Amino acid sequence: MGKFLIIAGLVLVVAGLLVHFFPSDGLPRLPGDIYIKKENSVFYFPLGWCVLISIVLTLVVRFLGK
């Protein structure tokens, strides 16, 4: 339970730093992000960020799990 709380806290700190440093623009676009803009609508799915966050969290869990 303690490791989970530490990981959750670190995730919240990183999320807070991202919101602090990129307040109005949001996260910058990475290669692999899906962005479709049509006349009256915009679709944005941050696939690159999803992959990056997944890799980082996997590494953190593996290192803290040993």
Taking the C-alpha atoms of residue 4 and residue 19, their distance in angstroms, rounded to an integer, is: 22
**Does the pLDDT of residue 25 top 70, yes or no?**
no
> What confidence tier does 66 reach under pLDDT thresholds 50, 70, 90?
low
Q: Identify the residue whose tokens are 């679709």.
A: 43
pTM of the full structure: 0.54
With contact defined as beta carbons under 8 Å apart, do 60 and 7 qualify? yes
Of 59, 57, 44, the C-alpha closest to 15 is 57
Query: How do residues 39-62 score in pLDDT, each as one tens digit?
Result: 899 888 888 888 888 998 888 888
CA atoms within 13 A on the CB side of 10: 12
